[in-house]
Copies of this chain bind each other. A is one copy, B any other.
Amino acid sequence: MNEETERFPILQVTEQDTNRIEDAVVREYALTIFLNNQELVTLFCSPTNLEYLAVGFLFSEGLIKGKGDIKEIVVDVQRGVVQAETETGKGRLATSGGGRGAFFHGAPDARGQRKVKSEIEISPHKVFAFMDEFVQRSELFKATGGVHSAALCDTEGILVFKEDIARHNAIDKVFGECTLKDIPTDDRIVLTSGRISSEILLKVAKRNIPILISKSAPTNLGVKLAQNLDITLIGFVRGRGMNVYTHDWRVATDGK
A: residues with CB less than 8 A from B are 4-5, 24-26, 28, 30, 32, 39-46, 48-49, 51-57, 59-62, 64, 66-67, 79-81, 93-96, 99-107, 109, 111, 140, 143-147, 162-166, 168-169, 171-177, 179-180, 182, 195, 197, 202-203, 206, 216-219, 236
Contacts and interface: CB of A to CB of B under 8 A. Distances in A.
B100 A165 contact: no
In this complex, the member of A32, A52, A104, A111 whose beta carbon has the largest number of chain B beta carbons within 10 angstroms is A104
A182 B49 CA distance: 16
Would you list the 3 A-B pairs with minimal beta carbon distance, nearest first?
A56-B172, A56-B176, A52-B176
Contact of A176 (B59, B166, B168, B218): B59
A166 B143 CA distance: 24
Please report whether the interface of chain A is mostly helix, strand, loop or mixed according to DSSP. mixed
Contact of A146 (B39, B81, B219): B219
B39 A165 contact: no
A216 B146 CA distance: 7
B67 A180 contact: yes
A51 B169 CA distance: 12
B99 A32 contact: yes
A238 to B, nearest CB: 10
Contact of A39 (B26, B57, B61, B101): B101
